[in-house]
Amino acid sequence: MTIFTAPLKTLSGSDTTLGAYAGQVILAVNVASKCGLTPQYTGLEELQKTYGSRGFTVVGFPCNQFLGQEPGSAEEIQEFCSTTYGVTFPLMEKIDVNGDDRHPIYAELTQVADADGVDGDIRWNFEKFLIAADGSVTRFGPMVTPEDSSLVSAIEASLAN
């Protein structure tokens, strides 16, 4: 199983995989609705609007493992994201990103270290993984905002390849 073949469900319950975005650059982000970093949804949506037509997509993975900051049902998460932040990028079902029930996609992603050399468990909501079309992964910590020049440059470089 790979990050492209691991089974997923969308927030609406449909079966999918990241393979549905084959050939695209994907920014996988564990998201939460009641976190101090939740306003990053605005920047993530801006990335989607800016680069979506060029073969890029944000994919959000709601997760309730960090102080219970994503307590809502799928319907509540969808409504919050669409009405509060105008989110148009795909959201998957709520998953675990750490621990014994860690989703297989995150079992793969967490093996990658970020620019500070940190790998392993997800540290907090809004940790980001840029997955290039060739499957290579670049990790960004939760405090790296969607507008950060290091993330934007990495997206642009991935889209140029």
- In whole angstroms, give the CA distance from residue 129 to residue 68: 22
- In whole angstroms, give the CA distance from residue 75 to residue 38: 18
- Confirm whether 35 is a catalytic residue: yes
- In whole angstroms, give the CA distance from residue 117 to residue 85: 32
Helices (H), 57-141: 74-85, 104-109
Q: Which of 92, 96, 82 is nearest to 41 (CA)?
A: 82
- Name residue 102's beta-bridge partners: 96
Neighbours of 98 (CB within 10 A): 17
Among candidate residues 35, 132, 137, 152, the one labeled active-site is 35
Q: Which of 20, 37, 23, 24 is nearest to 144 (CA)?
A: 37
Active-site positions read 35
